[in-house]
Amino acid sequence: MRMKLFSAATLDQAMEQMRVELGPDAVVLSTRSEDNFAEVRAAVERPLNHRFAPPSFSEARPSFDESTRERMEDVLTWHGAPDTFAERVAVTGVKLMGANADAAPAMAAGLEGVTAFAPIHADSSRAIMIVGAPGAGKTSVAAKLATARPSMQGGFRPVCADFDAAGGHARLSAFAGRADIPLFRTPESLRAHIAQRTSEGARLVIDAPSFNPLNPDDMNRLAELVELLNVEPILALSAEGHPQDLEDNARAYRNAGVRRTVLTKLDVVRRRGGVFAAISSARLSIAQLSLTHHIQGGLIPATPLRIARLLLETAPETGAAKTYSFKGAA
């Protein structure tokens, strides 16, 4: 069986691409449809791009398109991903998509095979709380979710939890362009507000205080706060930094109860592989990507194909990516 990923502006267009290339025998494995973007993953029993079937006596042997595999490994290594992560993505992508796959769909399949994806939507009954290290972009993420169009992942009402009196309320109000954002100085008062508003059907996004992942006391405070408030913590994780530090930080937040992350500052770094490797190793799900500092429209749902294209389009075509590599976490 050969599998392939098709993407287009609409689901109908992606399905048409599938029918043209794979023919009437194609089987749809999964579909994904969002605003102005759709993906179809399909499979076909017969070999692709072969006019005649192989003789029945021929021995089927696994084959790999080394150029596609090497391209993926070079790109991920150039982006600073650990060697083990780059190899896992490349091998998985070629196995899933076949020897003749282009690099983009093959890398997308590889990323989907080693990383989970879970975009944020406004239909959750639980409030979400944006957490992260100082300077990671928590307040920006909260403002972007609060100002997103309702037809997308938005519909959230912003709330500020400024327990440390660090000026977070003023920043959130400025970013979101609103002067009516509730401010809470204690966890108990915030808990009462969450209980009241969620019972009324409101969808809340809370801008939390900063929690240092290197400080065990901070991580314990975060875990206790999540349990007290009964909210979903979502990590704002900056793409800046060494891959091993990123992994250590992601693991610390996972141990405190985080399961999803929004990747921030992707627009201010060239090499982005380390953060994706860190998320995969920490077993977190990628929710959204922040590719601009602008608040309006500043978050997009994370998909394997979007990430693959982002990595491929920003890496050198022939990539002497082996100038350096990280042997660390996968």
β-pair type (37-44, 27-34): antiparallel
Decide if 69 is inside a domain: yes
161 and 234 housed in the same domain: yes
Which residues span the domain enclosing 149? 128-306
> What are the E-state strand segments in the chain?
2-8, 27-34, 37-44, 116-117, 128-131, 157-161, 183-184, 204-207, 232-238, 260-264, 285-290, 299-301
Q: Is 164 left (phi over 0), alpha (psi -120 to 50) or beta?
A: alpha
User: 254 and 192, same structural domain?
Assistant: yes
Query: Do 176 and 33 share a structural domain?
Result: no
- Considering the domain architecture, whether residues 21 and 132 belong to the same structural domain is answered as no
Quick check: is 59 in a domain?
Answer: no
CATH for 209: 3.40.50.300
What's the domain count of the chain?
Answer: 3
Number of DSSP helices (H) and strands (E) in the chain, helices first: 11, 12
CA-closest candidate to residue 111, choices 87, 84, 93: 93
- 110/205 same-domain check: no
Min mean pLDDT across 8-17, 19-28, 49-58, 214-223 is at: 49-58
Both 298 and 162 in a single domain? yes
In a domain, 108, yes or no: yes
Of 38-42, 142-146, 234-238, the range with the highest mean pLDDT is: 234-238
Query: End of a domain among 114, 142, 172?
Result: 114
Residues 147 and 275 in one domain: yes
pLDDT in the model for residue 65: 47
Question: What's the pLDDT tens digit per position in 97-135?
Answer: 976 789 999 999 999 999 999 998 866 678 999 999 999
In-domain check, residue 22: yes
Q: Is the pLDDT at 32 greater than 70, yes or no? A: yes
Mean pLDDT of the chain: 85
311 is a domain residue? no
71 in the same domain as 16: no
Contacts of 264 (CB under 8 A, 6+ apart): 136, 137, 140, 141, 236, 237, 238, 239, 290
- Dist. CA 93–CA 111, nearest whole Å: 7
Residues 200 and 295 both lie in one domain: yes
Specify if 122 maps to a domain: no
d(CA 215, CA 197): 32
Same domain, 292 and 185: yes
Mind listing the pLDDT tens digit for each residue in 279-319?
999 999 999 999 888 888 788 999 999 999 999 998 987 65
Residue 329 lies in a domain: no
Regarding whether 138 and 195 lie in a shared domain, the answer is yes
Task: Tell me the mean pLDDT in the region 257-284.
Answer: 96
Do 152 and 238 fall within a single domain? yes
Say if 270 falls within a structural domain: yes
Query: What's the token pair of residue 315?
Result: 């890496």
